[in-house]
Amino acid sequence: MEGFLKPSDTLNKSRKNRVIAVEAIVATGALVGLNQLWYADYPRSDFHFINDNAEWLQVDKAGHFYSSYHLGRLSAEMLEWSGASQKDQLIYGAGIGFAFLTAVEALDGFSSEWGASTGDIIANAAGTALYVSQELMWKEQRITPKFSFHTTQYAQFRPNVLGSSLAEQILKDYNGQTYWLSVNLHSFSKGSKIPKWLNLAIGYGADGMITGNRENNGLFLTPKTERSRRFYLSLDVDLTKIDTKSHFLKTIFSVLNTLKIPAPTIEYSRLEGFRGHLSYF
The CA angle 271-117-130, to the nearest 5 degrees, is: 75
Is residue 125 within 8 A of residue 71, CB to CB? The reply is no
Where does residue 166 rank: exposed (0-12), middle (13-18), buried (19+ CB within 10 A)? Answer: exposed
Mean pLDDT in the chain? Answer: 90
Query: Is the CB of residue 254 less than 8 Å from the CB of residue 238?
Result: no
> Residue 210, Cβ neighbours under 10 Å: how many?
21
Q: State how far the Cα of 104 lies from the Cα of 87, in Å rounded to an integer.
A: 26
Task: Provide the CB-side half-sphere exposure for 148 (13 A, CA).
Answer: 22
Longest dimension (CA), the chain: 63
Number of alpha carbons in the 13 Å side-chain half-sphere of residue 18: 11
Give the torsion sign (CA, 235, 241, 243, 247).
positive
Task: For residues 144 and 165, give the distance between their C-alpha atoms in angstroms, rounded to a whole number.
Answer: 28
Task: Give yes or no for a contact between 105 and 185, defined as CB atoms under 8 angstroms apart.
Answer: no
| Phi, psi dihedral angles at 114 (to 5 degrees) | -125, -145
Nearest one of 177, 168, 152, 154 to 66, comparing CA atoms: 177
134-143 core/surface letters (b: 16 or more CB in 10 A; e: else): bbeeeeebbb
pLDDT score of 231 = 98
The per-residue pLDDT for 14 is 87
Query: Which of helix, strand or coil describes residue 195?
Result: coil
Q: What pLDDT score was predicted for residue 220?
A: 57
Q: Which residues touch 277 (CB under 8 Å, ≥6 apart)?
A: 264, 265, 266, 267
pLDDT (0 to 100) of residue 216: 54
CB 162 within 8 A of CB 155: yes
Low-confidence ranges of the chain (pLDDT < 50): 217
Q: What is the structure's pLDDT at 61?
A: 97
Query: What's residue 120's pLDDT?
Result: 94
